[in-house]
Structure 1
Amino acid sequence: MKEHKLLYLKLLLGQKNIDVKKCVEAVEPLEKKARKYYAEPIDAELSRQEFVKMMVLDGCFIIKLLLNFQRMDSLNKNDPIFKQDWILNSLQRDLMLLENQLPFFILCKLYETLELPDQASELIRLALNFFSDLLPVQRITREDISHLLDKNGNPLEDIRHLLDLIHRFWSTSKLDPQNNVERRTGEYEPIRCSTQCHLLDLIHRLWSTSKLEAQNDVNRSPGESELIPCSTQLAEAGIELVKIDQVDIFDIQFDNGSLQIPTFVIEDRTESFLRNLIAYEQYSGGGGYVTDYVTFLGCLIKSEKDVTKLSHHGIIRNLIGENEVISQMLNKMIVCIVGPSRNFHYAEIFSRLNIHCDKPVNRWRATLRRNYCNTPWGIISILAASFLLILTLLQTIFSILSWKSP
């Protein structure tokens, strides 16, 4: 990979006719600030010069990768990264790993030094589009980014990292225009699992949509978020599973016996994608949107039958192939999650689902509908039996009345 980084550095600087020394000189003043992003002391490992060179090499590689990904034309046909999909997919996974992060201001400084067009809006759009096929969201438009920049002035002056960038973007999106952007002050924290300052944060915040906040207004305790039955058992209790077309993957609703869930696509990269985000949330101590969402899915899916049912309703789109693989994947993932959190975002839905399932009348109605009303012949049989029962009852009543009459 180092060879690819050096090649991208050479190509990027060659296209702009810029010497690498200019990039080094631009990053050098940020060296101390950048070191504060790392939890472990690296002074003994890398000298000042080596550290700056590493930042320049990694930063230029990421920028060139984002630019090439946007282009995706015949000019990339000789690029080994774009020749085979698995290499690009592997890079997407690597850039999400906790240990492979780069402070956002380094990317901004290099982007500015390279004199690339539309510095703020273009860098934001490039970063989002690179992960677009992994994210259950709309494609980011220039209008959306312009709205973000217009509302916040020049966010590059105080933005801490890509996570903060995405948080600002989502907070000013059409999904929740009234949600205020959280402002943070103080020193930059080190890069660690408990810190939000890297590309992984970008993906996490893009998933962590603001609609969940509406479900987080009720005071909750751990005991109030009891687990729910799996999807097969929910259906047996008369709950209708409905697919909804929503941008917000977390926007799950339960209304009038109908559990409405946006479609979730599961493919080969999904497990790595979710595990990285869960690991980030578990250590960060922040809002666990992805953790809570996976907990919800883990409750719905306990076996292959549950995956089959959800796939039948269009809630799960299985690109892996085997339904059993999905159930095993989720079962392994939720083992690392210690029950619903104190601020579990689906606590209210869980409570209402359990109340619905605990009512015997709902189960009886569902059993009747499933066993006897699922075909025209079943309905006819019930009507005929009911008619005969009424006739028998009337005959009995008339017999009693006749017997009592003198």
Structure 2
Amino acid sequence: MEMRQIANDQSDICNHVSVDVENQLKLVNFVRDKLRLLSPLSSECCIYRAPKQLRQAAEKSFIPKVVSIGPLHHNREDLQDMEVHKLRYLKEFLHRTEVKLEDCIKLIKNSEVRVRNCYAETIDVNSDSFVEMILVDATFIIEVLLRTSFPELISGNDCIVGRRRMLKCVALDMLLLENQIPFFVIEDLLSQANVVFSPENDDVRFTMFKLTGNLLNSVSPRVKGREGFINKPHSSRIEHFLDFVRITLLPPKLPAQKYLLRSLSSIPTVTQLYQAGVKFKAQHSRNLLDVRFEKGILEIPCMYLCVSREDLFKNLIAYEQCHFNDAYLNNFAFLMDRLVQTSKDVEILIQNQILETNFPDNQRATTFIKNLAPGAIMIGDDFIFADLCEDLNVYCRVPWHKWKATLKRDYFSTPWAIISVIAAIVLLLLTFLQTLFTINSNKCS
């Protein structure tokens, strides 16, 4: 009996092992099939939905308000009214440029695979519908760009661009959110239609840069002492309009060296720097990385804060996280978040013309900056402002800087305060001399 039981047990074990091996093979084949069917992420990929954690924190910043461009929000019911207007613009584009509809469709059809590869997710739309959507949206963009640069193209019954407020809403949806189409599609259509910005220059890329720059300048508040967006970004490749904006905010040569941030909690606030004697100066540069600290002076690029800029920066932060290895604008947002903790910090920056805003109070401007940082990240331990923050900490640790700042702020802040201090010193000196004279007189007598 015992031998038979042992044999049965061994048989059960073998059967169990056989079943496990069979199940593992099934799982291996199942996963292998999924990997085989998985389409590789193309090198052309440049258009993404914002990461879920960012959308959950600020859903409205990533949703178009007026018009949908591209496939990601194409079927939104609240945006369908604009589809008829986009068709009207396609009709006007074909009539004015005298380009054939057949040629436009052929051009986009030939680029369909490349266009689809630009999206991080699979666009589940058949070929004809996809080509039609890209054509309608691309020509709509061209018409809006042209009407911005050439107001004479606006007809009396133009229901979109004829109204400046509507134009701003359209432009923000069209250019600053991530529901876009690739830049090269619009360039190709411009080239085929032979649309140029001026007779002096027939370069399509220059035309596209100029038109886009004009539109951005028309809807973007001008910062005092600095012109609007540049008309020609310092890059040979522009992915889409949000990429265009990002390039205009960064230097031609991006920082290559990486820095290790030792302590994130040690970055002093604007108020702490002010109390330590640091002076603030507005840097009239469109390069947001141009933050400098030399000889007790902290220079920060001036910024205009408004609701549309908040949406823009959130989309830029999301785009960097999805597309780039180096998150430069994320680093800038992180730095500003640490510098600005209260409305007092904002007040100091406004007084020094570093910040301009149309918000009703400083607390709303503070909220603007604090709302950017929850989505901002750093890649590993890399932080391009680490050395600058370390220099600020070293300066704040020197007691003399704080004493000198306090003395100047409390006793030499106004001419009357200076006069009062001088009068007090003179009075003290006279009192001392009088006392000394009295003592000497008593000794003589």
Q: Return closer, same or farther for 1:21/1:113 CA change in 2, 3 Å cut-off.
A: same
Supply the distance in 2 between the matched residues of 1:211 and 1:48 (Cα, whole angstroms).
40
Distance 1:317 1:10 in 2: 42
Task: Call closer, same or farther: CA 1:339–1:59 in 2, change over 3 Å.
Answer: closer
Which structure has the larger Rg over C-alpha atoms? 2
Q: What is the distance in 2 between the residues matched to 1:390 and 1:29?
A: 91
Residue number among 37, 45, 51 corresponding to 2:118 in the alignment = 37
Where does 1:148-167 land on structure 2 (aligned, <5 Å)? 166-167=233-234
Tell me if 1:271 matches 2:310. Answer: yes
Distance in 1 (CA, whole Å) between partners of 2:160 and 2:330 is 32
Structure 1 residue 201 corresponds to structure 2 residue 243? yes
In 2, Cα distance between equivalents of 1:342 and 1:325: 31
1:339 Cα offset (Å): 6.6
Q: Equivalent residue for 1:4?
A: 85
Query: For the structure 1 residues 69 and 286, does the alpha-carbon distance in structure 2 shift closer, same or farther, using more than 3 Å as the test?
Result: farther
Counterpart residue number, 2:105 = 24
Q: Hey, what does 2:21 align to over in structure 1?
A: none
Give the alignment partner of residue 354 of structure 2, picking from 315, 321, 326.
315
Partners of 2:302 and 2:178 in 1: CA distance: 31
Does 2:174 match 1:95? Answer: yes
Hey, what's the Cα distance between the residues in 2 that align with 1:337 and 1:32?
33
Residue 211 (structure 2) pairs with residue 126 (structure 1) = yes
2:296 maps to a residue whose letter is G
Q: Is the 8 A contact 1:225 1:344 kept in 2?
A: no
Q: Secondary structure at the match of 1:210?
A: coil
With over 3 angstroms needed to count, the CA separation of the structure-2 counterparts of 1:339 and 1:197, relative to structure 1, is closer
Aligned residue number for residue 130 of structure 2: 51
3-state SS in 1 of match to 2:280: strand
- Superposed, 1:237-276 pairs within 5 Å as 237-276=276-315
Instruction: Say whether the 8 Å CA contact 1:295–1:340 is kept in structure 2.
Output: no
Tell me if 1:221 matches 2:260: yes
User: Could you say what the CA RMSD is over the residues aligned between the two structures, in angstroms?
Assistant: 3.3
Q: CA deviation at 1:388?
A: 6.8
Matched, 1:112 2:179: no
How far apart, in 1, do the equivalents of 2:118 and 2:409 lie? 58
**Structure 2: any 5+ residue segments left out of the alignment?**
1-81, 197-201, 441-445
Alpha-carbon offset, residue 305 of structure 1: 2.0
Contact preservation (8 Å) 1:9, 1:57: yes
The Cα of 1:10 is off from its aligned counterpart by 0.4
TM-superposed CA distance for 1:362, in Å, is 1.2
Amino acid at match of 2:331: D
Q: What is the deviation of 1:210?
A: 3.5
| Distance (Å, rounded) in 2 between the aligned partners of 1:301 and 1:229 | 9
8 Å CA contact 2:105, 2:131 repeated in 1: yes
Deviations 1:269-312 (A, max 9, x none): 11111111111112223332322222232233222222222212
CA contact (8 A) 1:96 1:276 kept: no
- Greater Cα offset, 288-297 or 197-206: 288-297
2:373 is aligned with 1:334: yes
Q: Distance in 2 between matches of 1:283 and 1:249?
A: 20
Letter in 2 for 1:222: L
> Deviation of residue 259 (structure 1)?
1.3
Query: What is the DSSP-based 3-state SS (H/G/I as helix, E as strand, rest coil) of the residue aligned with 2:259?
Result: coil
Change (3 A) 1:340 1:386: farther
1:225-253 CA-partner distances (Å, limit 9, x unpaired): 55532222211111111224334343222
* Distance across 1 between alignment mates of 2:253 and 2:370: 26
Q: Deviations over 1:104-154 (max 9, x none)?
A: 22112211221223223212211222212538764578xx75xxxxxxxxx
Q: Quick one: which amino acid aligns to residue 54 of structure 1?
A: M
Deviation at 1:34, TM superposition (A): 1.5
Deviations 1:353-405 (A, max 9, x none): 1111122221111111111222344334444555677788899999999xxxx
CA distance in 2: counterparts of 1:138 and 1:308, whole angstroms: 24
Q: For 1:387 and 1:326, how far apart are their aligned partners in 2?
A: 46
- Equivalent in 110, 120, 142 of residue 63 of structure 1: 142
What are the equivalent positions in structure 2 for 1:285-296 lying under 5 Å apart?
285-296=324-335
Q: Residue 235 of structure 2 corresponds to which residue in structure 1?
A: 168
Length-normalised TM-score, structure 2 = 0.70
Q: How far apart are the structure 2 equivalents of 1:300 and 1:199?
A: 30
Indicate the residue corresponding to 1:357 in structure 2.
Answer: 396
| Contact 1:212–1:251 (8 Å) recurs in 2 | no
Counterpart residue type for residue 343 of structure 1: D
Distance 1:21 1:249, change over 3 A: same
CA distance in 2, matches of 1:343, 1:397: 65
Aligned residues: 353
Distance 1:22 1:363 in 2: 70
Give the alignment partner of residue 95 of structure 2, picking from 14, 21, 24.
14
1:371 and 2:410 equivalent? yes
Deviations 1:202-233 (A, max 9, x none): 111111223663xx64x521325555322222
Distance 2:351 2:111 in 1: 53
Q: Distance in 2 between matches of 1:377 and 1:65?
A: 57
Of all paired residues, the percent bearing the same amino acid is 30
- Give the CA deviation at 1:313: 1.6
Residues 223 and 13 of structure 1: is their aligned pair in 2 closer, same or farther, counting only changes over 3 Å? same
The answer (yes or no) to whether the contact 2:331–2:384 under 8 Å persists in 1 is yes
- In the aligned structure 2, how far is the partner of 1:48 from the partner of 1:263? 46
Aligned in 2, Cα 1:284/1:395: closer, same or farther, shift over 3 Å? farther
Give distance in 2, aligned partners of 1:340 and 1:377: 52
In structure 1, distance between residues paired with 2:411 and 2:253:
40
Match of 2:69 in 1: none
